């Protein structure tokens, strides 16, 4: 299977949503979690996906056929302990959490089996995504460190979308690209504030610590990206927001899908930005029409930070600037 992506999603969740778009109440069951949403968007973009996950308990029994129906190639280890999930009520237009169970941590034996599974699949993939476990206690950071190191040194480009101790663990192993949000950096004590100067400092520090390139999302503000040692602001078209969740995961997916197809990093970042922008116009994480995403890609611009913000660079101008610098 050429040009595909391996997504390491160690602990998917069952999501139950109560909705009422018209007169009658509806209940929706879907697989969820960061890696699942990323895999879904990669498939939307027409790229094959191998999803490596651990499933267990009654929730795991429900999750497995739901994951298989997503159109991904599913690779699973069956756990003795239970997977997690949550129930949300959005009948009044907001998302209210009714119940949530994180699931049980994977045992040492289960982690060994999942590691071997993901390593085998990742070695055959040009790009691998390491996605977060949902709750930090579910999967030890060291499995991420080892997986990033073993995949990277054997030719797979590793894209990590992590925070906290899991992020710290993979930096020592080297990454092709790191995606992180400014909220995560503030929450985990990496950044002291959300000023541009502070975030620029963090970008360069993350690069120095092992991330070849870094994408830093900033909620409603334009994301920042460090490529070849230079920082750019990602200017995206403004769209009406239906659900703000999931933009960052769709961005990571768009980057990975483009790299797997052989695209360069500038195109990958623009595609990721377009996928993230479109995702928030929909009710459904990791979803979007590929033709709409393709149309938005042409409207994404990269502007070097420190220049006039009106001086937006087209892709051709960026390529010429990079070649001649």
DSSP for residue 24: S
Q: Does the predicted model carry a pTM greater than 0.95?
A: no
For residue 30, which of 265, 286, 217 has the smallest C-alpha distance? Answer: 286
pLDDT on residue 193: 95
Determine the structural domain holding residue 276 and report its residue range.
Answer: 5-324
pLDDT on residue 89: 95
Rounded CA separation 304/311 (Å):
9
Cβ distance 278 to 293 under 8 Å? Answer: yes
DSSP for residue 75: E
Q: Give SS3 for 121.
A: helix
For residue 226, which of 213, 217, 241 has the smallest C-alpha distance? Answer: 213
Whole-number CA gyration radius for the chain: 19
pLDDT on residue 243: 56
pLDDT on residue 304: 92
Place of tokens 């120095």: 208
- Structural domains of the chain, count: 1
Looking at residue 30, which CATH number applies to its domain? 3.40.1190.20
DSSP string, 131-154: E--SSGGGS-HHHHHHHHHHHHTT
Rounded CA separation 170/70 (Å):
28
Q: What is the block-wise mean pLDDT of the chain (325 residues), using blocks of 10 residues? A: 88 95 91 94 94 97 95 95 95 90 95 97 97 92 96 95 95 93 94 94 95 92 92 80 66 94 94 80 57 80 68 41 39
For residue 60, which of 118, 104, 28, 26 has the smallest C-alpha distance? Answer: 104
Cβ distance 29 to 50 under 8 Å? Answer: no
């Amino acid at each position: 299977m050429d040009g595909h992506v391996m997504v390491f999603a160690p602990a998917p969740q069952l999501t139950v949503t109560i909705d009422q778009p018209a007169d009658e109440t509806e209940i929706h069951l879907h697989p969820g979690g960061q890696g699942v949403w990323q895999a879904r968007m990669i498939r939307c973009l027409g790229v094959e996906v191998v999803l490596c996950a651990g499933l267990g308990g009654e929730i795991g029994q429900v999750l497995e056929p739901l994951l298989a129906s997503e159109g991904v190639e599913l690779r699973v280890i069956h756990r003795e302990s239970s997977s997690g999930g949550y129930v949300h009520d959005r009948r009044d237009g907001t998302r209210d959490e009714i119940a949530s169970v994180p699931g049980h941590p994977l045992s040492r034996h289960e982690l060994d089996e999942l590691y071997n599974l993901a390593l085998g699949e990742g070695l055959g993939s040009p790009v691998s995504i390491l996605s977060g476990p949902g709750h930090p206690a579910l999967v030890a950071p060291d499995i991420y460190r080892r997986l990033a190191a073993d995949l990277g040194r054997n030719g797979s480009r590793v894209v990590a979308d992590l925070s906290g101790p899991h992020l710290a663990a993979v930096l020592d192993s080297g990454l092709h690209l790191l995606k992180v949000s400014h909220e995560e950096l503030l929450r985990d004590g990496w950044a002291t504030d959300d000023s541009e100067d502070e975030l620029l400092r963090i970008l360069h520090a993350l690069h120095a610590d092992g991330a070849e390139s870094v994408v830093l999302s900033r909620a409603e503000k334009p994301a920042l990206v460090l490529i070849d040692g230079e920082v750019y602001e990602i200017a995206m078209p403004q769209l009406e927001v239906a659900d703000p969740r999931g933009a960052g995961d769709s961005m990571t997916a768009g980057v990975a899908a483009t790299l797997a197809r052989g695209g360069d990093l500038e195109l990958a970042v623009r595609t990721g930005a377009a996928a993230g922008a479109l995702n928030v116009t929909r009710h459904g994480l990791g979803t979007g029409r590929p033709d709409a995403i393709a149309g938005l890609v042409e409207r994404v611009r990269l502007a070097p930070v420190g220049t006039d913000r009106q001086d937006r660079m087209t892709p051709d101008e960026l390529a010429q600037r990079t070649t001649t610098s």
